[in-house]
Amino acid sequence: MPISSSKNALLAHPFRPFFLLTGVYGALIVLAWMGFLFGGWPLPLAWSPLHWHSHEMVYGMVPAAIAGFLLTAMTNWTGAPPLNNKGLLALVLLWLAGRLAFWFAGWLPVWLVAAVDLAFLPALAIYAATILLRYQNRRNLMLVAVLSVLTAGNLLMHIGFVYGKTSFLILGQNLGINMVTLIMVIIAGRIVPAFTANWLRMQGGNPEWVKRPMWVSNLAIGSVALLALLSLGAPAVLVGIAALLAGLSNGLRLVQWSGWRTARNPLLWILHLGYFWIVVGLLLRSAEAFNLGVSNSLWQHALGVGAMATLILGVMTRVAMGHTGRPLGLVRFGIIIYGAITLAVILRLLVAAQLLHYSLGATLAALSWILAFALFVHLYWPILSAPRADGRPG
């Protein structure tokens, strides 16, 4: 049976199952988190709900989105055939096993939970490295290195849980946020200006309105990498300086992409908005390091709820159309996804800044988040589970 058949469509290309799982799990973990906070839901988690929540956001949901994008993009970078069928199913099941282990961590040996959960990212990194080396695409090996450090951050959280070391839990959590931020700065720094310039050209505009000076890109990426390194234990003043440099350089980068010219194209302005939240998160992190009255929660949610979720939804809604042979546009009611996640960011930041009552604001933010991810699954399941519209494989 051809790979484009309806029976095999979900396993035809990595973005299909991983994007749907990202949507489902994104809604599920926030629903569970709110149940822990306000509903007293009893689940055998073993971990404290706070650290379980942060772990499953950074090391649970986000890696599924990374896998869907990275494994799909690699086919364009290298010309290699996509991972599909049994190989893709095995990787999907490995991710699912890690999530099930975490939901039932209270009933399982800690070593088993750690072993199962820690397996996915190395497997993804090894496969990516194998393909990139086989096809001599060494430029993108930096992403394999980032995945390796992300694995180390996950390991730190497990060590922190096993030995009761809150410092290790926090270190692993922040290292994960740093590495995901670095991935976003690298990947979005490629696709957002490229997509913008191409669209402007097609609209009769001037693609040179989109500026991409190499020194700005290098500074934007390098400063985020430096921030990640300094965050491992450097004095707060150095962390603050690095975060400020990262925020300003990435802000300059964003302005040079002329995002305001994409106001008529939701698939583009959502990507610019997602990158904007990176800038906000980095500047807030600098303010926190300089003891300017900004909490950890504020910059963490600007990067997590803001940048990560917005860029994930923006990329998924775009790739779901472009890589299934459909016109590159937003599906009917898709704009609600973007509005809901933006409302979730604003509400959650107001809560973190203590400008909105915690239980009310957190509940409204969670409902907005759940709406965004659940609506993505509802609207894009028929697309991601069906064969390509143009009859081609993939």
Percent of the chain residues topping a pLDDT of 90: 87
Mean pLDDT across 214-238: 96
Report d(CA 243, CA 237) in Å as an integer: 10
CA separation (Å) from 34 to 165, 303, 369? 25, 20, 12
**What confidence score (pLDDT) does residue 109 get?**
92
pLDDT of residue 42: 72
What average pLDDT does the structure give for the chain? 94
Mean pLDDT of 247-256: 98
pLDDT of 88-109, one tens digit each?
Answer: 999 999 999 999 999 998 899 9
Q: In the prediction, which pLDDT does 157 show?
A: 95
Rg, Å, the chain Cα set: 20
Closest CA to 146 of 68, 84, 63: 63
Report pTM: 0.95
Residue 392: the pLDDT is: 86
What phi, psi does 200 have (nearest 5°)? Answer: -60, -40
Span 198-213, average pLDDT = 95
**How far is residue 337's CA from residue 333's CA, in Å, rounded to a whole number?**
8
Q: Would the pLDDT of 43 be above 80? A: no
What confidence tens digit (pLDDT) does each residue in 262-280 have? 999 999 999 999 999 999 9
Confidence bin at 48 (pLDDT 50/70/90): confident
User: Domains in the chain and their CATH numbers?
Assistant: 9-384 (1.20.210.10)
Residue 310 scores a pLDDT above 80: yes
Q: What per-residue confidence (pLDDT) applies to 47?
A: 80
Q: pLDDT tens digits, residue range 335-380?
A: 999 999 999 999 999 999 999 999 999 999 999 999 999 999 999 9
pLDDT band (50, 70, 90) for residue 4: very low
What is the structure's pLDDT at 55? Answer: 94
